[in-house]
Structure 1
Amino acid sequence: MIEAELKARVHAPEQVMRQLDERAEARIEVYRDTYYDRPDGSLEKADQELRVRTVHGADGTRTVLTFKGPAVDEESGSKPEHETRVEDADQAHAILRGLGHVVLIAFEKRCRNYDFEARGRQMLATFVRVPEIEGTFLEIETLVGEDEVAAALHDIRAVFAELGIGEEDLTRETYTGAVAAQRG
């Protein structure tokens, strides 16, 4: 499946949050993301991602292992995504290190998630604040087949427009890149 996703900088987060609160119940979660690469940086060079994410929320803690392939849509950066839940975060990290992977970067994301249906699709909208970088971001995503990416991105853009977020607010900036730049 492809994670068709767009991200925007949000200039009026409280206003947008109120609109999303009308669509769905918010789930407040903290993500602890650790990105891995091979020592030669070949995953990053190939536009691939390998991540262990531990999510802390009101319903408990869960950990997922994710691999993302190269972008299938250059404008949005939407990528094929393969994800599975793992029982033990420490063991997942140990396995990846044991296979020779090294930590590329690790950071925390504070998220407010909304699951809802729009334009006939299940969507996830996530408000994101990363303590190390300035601003509030909103990601909207849906999982689709590769032949549906363009239509899904069109639908996501329509949801952004309904929320008062324009094309000029969309960004391809990555959290990994922004955190790395901040750390110098």
Structure 2
Amino acid sequence: MPIEAELKARVRDVPALLAALDRRAEREMVVCHDRYFDSPDGTFASAGHELRIRTVETDAGVRNLLTFRKSGADAASGSRPEYETTVGDADVAESIVLGLGYRPMVALWKQCSNYRWRQGGRDLLATVVTVPEIEGTFVELETVAEADGDLSAALDAARATLVELGIADHDLTTELYTDAVAAAMRASAA
């Protein structure tokens, strides 16, 4: 079972990172509208699972994705198995999810610059992310580990690439956007 091997970091020098990525691959501008769901008693999310409907807007058009992420295969990085499929209508998918008993947890917008390239025998995706409710800019670097035994090597490749891009280990984070947005919403309501 493939595992999404992903590292996320806060970016200290955004122009330098974008320049380094622009030298590697073509930039694709993307806006994502993410809706996350939890079980009525909150145990689904508290167990580390995610259920998400994502609407992705690019110059090429709009597509909707339904994603289930199982609890972490690697707690240090937050990497975990991910199952994703395209759905025709995000509102219909949400009606199905709600009909199955899940409840809305949080919704957020992400403005992203995606870069895809191949390096060291791996397909890499770097995504530079801003979320309006969260201060700062993040970079996510992901590749696919084909099995549990490949996860360590995939994470090592991602970490080495981040270093090449000027991202230090102390900038890595496992903070979830959902948690940060929920905290920002609570703070603004207080």
2:162 and 2:14 map into 1 onto residues whose CA distance is 13
1:166 and 1:118 map into 2 onto residues whose CA distance is 19
SS state of the match for residue 173, structure 2? coil
Kindly provide the amino acid, as one letter, of the partner of residue 120 in structure 1. G
1:172 and 1:48 map into 2 onto residues whose CA distance is 14
Q: CA deviation at 1:152?
A: 0.5
- Any idea what the Cα deviations from partners look like across 1:108-151, whole Å, max 9, x if unmatched? 00000001112210010000000011000000001112211100
Which residue in 2 is equivalent to 1:149?
151
Q: CA deviation at 1:45?
A: 1.7
Gaps of 5+ in 2: none
Kindly provide the amino acid, as one letter, of the partner of residue 92 in structure 2. Q
Which residue in 2 is equivalent to 1:119?
120
Gaps of 5+ in 1: none
Moved over 2 A (4+): none
2:91 and 2:78 map into 1 onto residues whose CA distance is 30
Which residue in 2 is equivalent to 1:14?
15
Q: CA deviation at 1:30?
A: 0.4
Kindly provide the amino acid, as one letter, of the partner of residue 5 in structure 1. E
Within 5 A, what are the aligned runs for 1:1-184? 1-144=2-145, 145-184=147-186
Q: CA deviation at 1:177?
A: 0.7
* CA RMSD, Structure 1 to Structure 2 (Å): 0.7
- TM-score, normalization: structure 2? 0.95
Question: For this pair of structures, how many residues does the alignment match?
Answer: 184
1:118 and 1:136 map into 2 onto residues whose CA distance is 24
Percent identity of paired positions between Structure 1 and Structure 2: 49
Kindly provide the amino acid, as one letter, of the partner of residue 179 in structure 2. G
- TM-score, normalization: structure 1? 0.98
